[in-house]
Amino acid sequence: MIELADLRADCSHCAALCCVLLPYRKDGGFGADKAGGVPCTNLLADDRCGIHDRLGEAGWPGCVAFDCFGAGQHVTERTYAGRSWRDGSADPAEMGAVLTVQRLLHEMVHHLTEAARRVDDATARALADRVLVLREGDPEALLTIDVDALHEEVGACLRAVSRRIRQPAGVALAYADLAGTDLRDRDLGNADLHGATLIGADLRGQALRGTDLLGADLRGADLRGADLAGALFVTTAQVGGAKGDAATALAPWLQRPGAW
């Protein structure tokens, strides 16, 4: 199986695809509105970000929280073999669509790989291997994948693994709106919080061992002193949008936000 570290974004091997091909809006945590296919005004000629070391302070928290799961470098070096929007050898609109599909595939593989390793799940391993084969397709093949059907299949597998791990099961709070809620005194071990809205929630000091956080919105959540090392299906993008500190425990495959 692939190593989870191999699913980390590596901007040094990407042609700044997310900074050019993807659209963003100011109300989504970005410093301006931008259409897809238009280079970000902070993008330098060498495909590096001119404000990367101060994105949060400059009003670009959306960039801090964004994670392509390594799809950017894969599209640049493998799918298009070095052809780029910059020299006109690749169509920007097509590349943007391919990047979107690849990012979804990489995110699925990330979760499936974690699931397989936590409980040695054969179904998760087989499904991850299948998705890895799909990501090697050419642009035409990638754009004809039924991503919705695949996402549903992957979701069912992850839910089954989650139920196996979370025994005895904790509180059921899937898709709950807990924005701004003080959760410090709640027992959230083995809880089902997948898809929950935790924007600005206070989770300081929480022990989230076995807690399913798949797709939970952690923007602005206070994770200072919290233990997320054993939480399920947490991503770098999720923690990148949250508030943490040196005492916040994360799984070793996650990139620790620089601001922590």
- Check residue 210 and give its pLDDT: 97
* C-alpha distance across the termini of the chain, in Å: 31
Report the percentage of the chain scoring pLDDT > 90.
Answer: 85
Q: How far apart are CA 40 and CA 46, in angstroms?
A: 13
Segment 109-137, tens digit of pLDDT: 999 999 999 999 999 999 999 999 999 99
pTM: predicted TM-score of the whole model, two decimal places: 0.92
In the predicted model, what is the mean pLDDT of residues 86-102?
Answer: 92
- Check residue 79 and give its pLDDT: 97
In the predicted model, what is the mean pLDDT of residues 25-30?
Answer: 92
The least confident of 54-58, 72-76, 225-229 is 54-58
- Check residue 146 and give its pLDDT: 98
- Check residue 2 and give its pLDDT: 82
Task: Tell which CATH classification among 3.40.50.2000, 3.20.20.150, 2.160.20.80, 3.40.50.1260 matches the domain 168-260.
Answer: 2.160.20.80
* Alpha-helical regions (H) of the chain: 17-20, 61-65, 71-74, 92-119, 122-134, 139-143, 147-165, 236-240
Segment 197-253, tens digit of pLDDT: 999 999 999 999 999 999 999 999 999 999 999 999 999 999 999 999 999 999 999
In the predicted model, what is the mean pLDDT of residues 48-67?
Answer: 90
Q: How far apart are CA 63 and CA 42, in angstroms?
A: 11
Q: Which helix (H) or strand (E) holds 238?
A: helix 236-240
- Check residue 86 and give its pLDDT: 81
Q: Which of 195, 194, 198 is nearest to 232 (CA)?
A: 194
Which positions ≥6 away from 32 have C-beta within 8 Å? Answer: 24, 26, 41
Contact between 211 and 178 (Cβ < 8 Å): no
- Check residue 6 and give its pLDDT: 81
Asked whether the predicted pLDDT for residue 17 surpasses 90, the reply is: yes
Tell me the helix, strand and coil percentages in the chain, rounded to 5.
40, 5, 55
Which DSSP state fits 56?
Answer: T
Q: How far apart are CA 179 and CA 70, in angstroms?
A: 30
Asked whether the predicted pLDDT for residue 75 surpasses 80, the reply is: yes
Contact between 168 and 189 (Cβ < 8 Å): no
Contact between 112 and 7 (Cβ < 8 Å): no
Q: How far apart are CA 246 and CA 6, in angstroms?
A: 24
Asked whether the predicted pLDDT for residue 259 surpasses 90, the reply is: no
- Check residue 97 and give its pLDDT: 95
Report the percentage of the chain scoring pLDDT > 70.
Answer: 100
Asked whether the predicted pLDDT for residue 5 surpasses 80, the reply is: no
Q: How far apart are CA 99 and CA 190, in angstroms?
A: 34
Show me where the domains of the chain are located.
Answer: 4-165, 168-260
- Check residue 10 and give its pLDDT: 92
Answer with the residue of higher pLDDT: 65 or 141. 141
